[in-house]
Copies of this chain bind each other. A is one copy, B any other.
C-alpha cells in the first residue's frame, strides 16, 4: 500500500524522522544526565511510547487517567500523571492502575492530597506525589515556595503517600529560583526534594540550563509542527507528521479549498496566523477552517493546484491530530509500513 491508496484527509508519520526525533532528544538528555519521560498526549499510541522506552526513556507521561489505562494495557510500566485527580471513581481507577504499574501523580491542593491519601491508605499502597508549582503557563500549581513546602509536608505526613518532588510546565527564568528556594525550605524541614520535573517541547533543548532539573517531559518533539518550527524547537526538515489532503474546489483564481477542516486539524492557532503550512505551496495561506474544509489562499503562489490534486500540510498543533483522526499511517517515502490505531483517542476522563 502506498500513500496514493489512502483516502484523504489522513495523517502520515514519516518513520525515519520519527525514529530520528526519538533518538535525538534521548541523546541530548543522556548527555546531560536528565531522565527522559516523554508525554504520550501527542501520539496516544502505546507502540510509539514503547519506541521511546526502547531508546532510553525512564517511563511515560499521561495527562488523563484514561490515557494511563491505555498505556498500561499497552505495556508501559512506569507512568507519571501530572494532574489533580479528584472523585471516588477516578481514585478507584488510580488505585487499580497502581496495582499493575508504577504510578506517580501531582497535586497542588490539600483537597487533592486528602483524596489520594484516603484511597491509597485504604488500599495499603504507597503513591509518589509531586507538588505542582506555577512558574510557567499560569494554570495549576502552588504559587510560592512556602505553599510548596506546606503541601509537601502534608503529603509526607499522609497515609499511603510519599512526597516525591516538584513539577512545572513549561519552564522559564523564574523556575530555577523557585526550585532553589523550595529545596532550601524542604531541606530545613527534613524533606528531600526528589525529582524536579520540567516539560515542554519548545524549551526542551534548554533543559540542561535549568539547574536542578532531574527529569523532562516533552510531547510534540516526536512529530513537530508549525508551532514548534516557529519556536525554533523542531526544524522543518525534521517534522514527521503531515496531513494528506485533497484540493476539492478552486472556485476563484486564488482560492483553493482543502478537504481538511477543524475536525481534522483543530482550530488551534498557538499564536500563529493561519492554519498549517502546505508543503508543496509554502506561500499559500490557510486563512480559515470550517469543520470539513480548509480555506486556502493560493494567490501568492506562482504555480497553483488543480481540483483533485493532493497536497500535504504541516498542522499548527500536532497534539490534536492523532486524537481527532484515530489512526496514524507510518510511512517510509510513499510506502505505508504500519497503521497505528490511536488507542488513547478521546480519553479525556
Binding site for B on A (CB under 8 A): 5, 7-10, 41, 63-64, 83-84, 86-87, 89-90, 108-109, 111-112, 115, 134, 137-143, 246, 248-252, 255, 257, 259-264, 266-269, 290-293, 295, 306-308, 319-320, 323-326, 345-346, 348-349
A86-B308, A248-B84, A348-B260 known; A293-B140 Cβ under 8 A: yes
State A7–B86 Cα separation when bound (angstroms): 10
Q: Which residues of B contact A108 (CB under 8 A)?
A: 249, 251
Contact of A41 among B64, B89, B143, B291 (CB under 8 A): B291
State A306–B8 Cα separation when bound (angstroms): 45
State A142–B257 Cα separation when bound (angstroms): 13
State A41–B292 Cα separation when bound (angstroms): 10
Asked if B349 contacts A7 (CB within 8 A), the reply is yes
The A interface, classified by DSSP as helix, strand, loop or mixed, is loop
Q: Which residues of B contact A115 (CB under 8 A)?
A: 308
A249-B109, A292-B348 known; A86-B307 Cβ under 8 A: yes
Besides A63-B291, A138-B295, 16 more A-B contacts (Cβ < 8 Å) are A115-B308, A137-B290, A139-B251, A140-B248, A140-B251, A142-B251, A143-B252, A259-B348, A262-B268, A263-B323, A266-B266, A266-B267, A324-B324, A325-B346, A326-B346, A345-B346
Asked if B246 contacts A86 (CB within 8 A), the reply is yes
A155 to chain B, nearest CB (A): 16
Q: Which residues of B contact A8 (CB under 8 A)?
A: 87, 349
Q: Which residues of B contact A84 (CB under 8 A)?
A: 248-249, 307
Contact of A10 among B137, B260, B349 (CB under 8 A): B349
